[in-house]
Structure 1
């Protein structure tokens, strides 16, 4: 009898401990971008993207798969500007992102990726500019 109770308790503990918790990084969208991708032609082009919330921060920027140094950028600020020779990323008022790509005079397509984070939710914007 004691053996049956032990196995019953063991089974109950096993079922309780196997409760599935939400996976890390699987938060629901708490940034809510108006647009996540765009394609630009080779001319100088700008795009304004909005977010429904303002609690997010800049997680990173890559340009043609190379990380951009953001050491001097206050990534959590409601207003910031990241300027590089070929592009500019500006946050205005906490919920507006203005992305400008300068004219593409190279013989290759260009790719700009802007990574955002809010809590444990990650999102991003990808801009492709044709040659």
Structure 2
């Protein structure tokens, strides 16, 4: 299943992909930490958008689309960037690890944990790309 990014359908498609992808399950088997994406308005995105993923040991236990940052209590990681940086990562024009290291994708949480888990991060991005049919 693929969908238009960003949308509730895209987030559900990503959840399904993460829970059915054997490669992701294997690579992310030790991952512990939920993610909050904060996408700042830019270009076609007119308002701030928040997306939440509860990731645990190679599965996605749940997702939530929308709301405010304050609605999500203490996610392990909050990733914040302008819409253009998120879409550049999805299109393969911006490496996610480079984006984190250069501040194009701001990380609240342990950047060290992310760096120790580069294969998991990159495979998560692969799954994101595979469910992206179109970008708004």
TM-score for the superposition, normalised by structure 2? 0.30
TM-score for the superposition, normalised by structure 1? 0.31
Bigger strand fraction: 1
